A and B are shown apart, each in its own frame.
Chain A
Amino acid sequence: MRRWITASACLVWTTAAAAQVPGGPTGLEAVDYPWDNGTRIQLTWSLSPDDDTLLGYAVRRRLADDPQQTLIDILPPGTSAYTVPDLDPELAYLFAVTAIAQDNTESAPASTLAPVTPSVQAFDGTRLWFMVTLVLFSGAVVVFIRMARTGRDLKVRKIAGLEAVTEAVGRATEMGRSCLYVPGIQDMNDIQTIASMNVLSHVARTAAEYDAKLEVPTSKSLVMTAARETVETAFLSAGRPDAYNPDLIYYVTDEQFGFVAYAQGMMVREKPAACFYLGSFFAESLILAEMGNSIGAIQVAGTAQPAQLPFFVAACDYTLIGEEFFAASAYLSGEPDQMGSLKGQDVGKLIVAVGILAGVGGMTLAAVTGSDLIQSMVDYFTQRMLT
Chain B
Amino acid sequence: MSRIDPDRVQVILATDCGSTTTKAILIQKIDGVFRQTHRGEAPTTVEEPFADVTMGVLNAVTETQELAGRRLIDADGRIIQPASGDEGCDIYISTSSAGGGLQMMVAGVIRQMTAESAKRAALGAGAIVMDVIAANDKRRPHEQIQRIRELRPDMILVSGGVDGGTTTHVVRLAELIAPAKPRPRFGSEYTLPIIYAGNADAAPLVADVITDGFDLTVVDNLRPVLERENLGPARDAIHDLFLEHVMAHAPGYDKLIQWTDAPIMPTPGAVGNILETIARERGINVVGVDIGGATTDVFSVFDGVFNRTVSANLGMSYSISNVCAEAGMDNILRWVHIPMDARELRNRVKNKMIRPTTIPQSLEALVFEQAVAREALRLAYLQHKEFATTLKGVQRQRTVGDTFSQESSGETIVDNMALNLLVASGGVLSHAPSMRQTAMLLIDAFEPEGFTTLAKDSIFMMPHLGVLAEVHPQASVEVFERDCLIHLGAVAAAAGSGKPGQACFRYQVRGDTLEASGEMRVGDMKLYPLGLGETARVAIQPERGFDFGAGPGRAVERDVEGGTVGLILDARGRPLQVEGGVEGWVRALELYPEGSVA
Answer yes or no: B282 CB below 8 A from chain A CBs.
Answer: no
The answer on a CB contact under 8 Å between A310 and B136 is: no
Find chain B residues with CB under 8 A from A176 CB: 161, 164-169, 199
Q: Which of A107-115, A158-166, A356-364 contacts B (4 or more CB under 8 A)?
A: A158-166
Answer yes or no: A225 CB below 8 A from chain B CBs.
Answer: no
> Which chain B residues in 401-421 approach chain A with CB under 8 Å?
402-404, 406-410
Q: How far is the CB of B543 from chain A (nearest CB, A)?
A: 28
Q: How many of chain B's residues have a CB under 8 angstroms from any CB in A?
A: 35
Find chain A residues with CB under 8 A from B408 CB: 158, 160, 163-164, 167, 318
User: Which of A158, A160, A170 is most buried by chain B, counting CB atoms within 10 A of its CB?
Assistant: A170
The answer on a CB contact under 8 Å between B406 and A167 is: no
Answer yes or no: B354 CB below 8 A from chain A CBs.
Answer: no
> Contacts A167-B410, A314-B400 hold; do A296 and B113 have CB atoms under 8 A apart?
no
Find chain B residues with CB under 8 A from A313 CB: 398-400, 402-403
The CA-CA distance from A173 to B136 in the complex, in Å, is: 10
Q: How far is the CB of B41 from chain A (nearest CB, A)?
A: 47
The answer on a CB contact under 8 Å between B393 and A160 is: no
Answer yes or no: A219 CB below 8 A from chain B CBs.
Answer: no
Partner of B162, one of A160, A174, A209, A317: A174
Find chain B residues with CB under 8 A from A211 CB: 135, 168-169
Answer yes or no: B112 CB below 8 A from chain A CBs.
Answer: yes
Render B143-183 as a binary contact track against A, CB cut-off 8 A, 1 for contact: 00000000000000000111011111100000000000000
The CA-CA distance from A209 to B112 in the complex, in Å, is: 14
Partner of B395, one of A209, A309, A317, A321: A317
Answer yes or no: A343 CB below 8 A from chain B CBs.
Answer: no
- In the complex, the chain A residue whose C-beta lies closest to that of B393 is A171
Partner of A314, one of B114, B161, B398: B398
Answer yes or no: A341 CB below 8 A from chain B CBs.
Answer: no
The answer on a CB contact under 8 Å between A173 and B112 is: no
- In the complex, the chain B residue whose C-beta lies closest to that of A161 is B406
Which bracket fits the contact residues of A? 20 to 34
Find chain A residues with CB under 8 A from B136 CB: 170, 173, 209-210
- In the complex, the chain B residue whose C-beta lies closest to that of A309 is B403
Render B126-142 as a binary contact track against A, CB cut-off 8 A, 1 for contact: 00000000011010000
The CA-CA distance from A175 to B114 in the complex, in Å, is: 11
Find chain B residues with CB under 8 A from A174 CB: 109-110, 113-114, 160-162, 165-166, 223, 226, 393
- In the complex, the chain B residue whose C-beta lies closest to that of A319 is B406
Find chain A residues with CB under 8 A from B135 CB: 173, 210-211
Partner of B398, one of A170, A309, A317: A317
Answer yes or no: A328 CB below 8 A from chain B CBs.
Answer: no
The answer on a CB contact under 8 Å between A316 and B398 is: yes
Find chain A residues with CB under 8 A from B393 CB: 167, 170-171, 174, 298
The CA-CA distance from A94 to B402 in the complex, in Å, is: 67
User: Which of B161, B404, B409 is most buried by chain A, counting CB atoms within 10 A of its CB?
Assistant: B409
Answer yes or no: B3 CB below 8 A from chain A CBs.
Answer: no
Render B105-118 as a binary contact track against A, CB cut-off 8 A, 1 for contact: 00001101110000
Render B374-412 as a binary contact track against A, CB cut-off 8 A, 1 for contact: 000000000000000000110110111011101111100
The interface of chain B, by Cβ under 8 A from chain A, is 109-110, 112-114, 135-136, 138, 160-162, 164-169, 199, 223, 226, 392-393, 395-396, 398-400, 402-404, 406-410
| CB-defined A-B contacts under 8 Å, sample of 15 | A163-B408, A167-B409, A167-B410, A170-B136, A174-B110, A175-B165, A176-B165, A176-B168, A209-B136, A298-B393, A309-B403, A313-B398, A313-B400, A316-B398, A321-B404
* 4 additional contacts (CB under 8 A) given A171-B226, A174-B223: A164-B409, A174-B110, A298-B396, A310-B403
The interface of chain A, by Cβ under 8 A from chain B, is 158, 160-161, 163-164, 166-167, 170-171, 173-177, 209-211, 296-298, 309-310, 313-314, 316-319, 321
Nearest 9 pairs between A and B by C-beta?
A176-B166, A170-B110, A171-B393, A160-B408, A160-B406, A176-B165, A175-B165, A317-B396, A313-B403
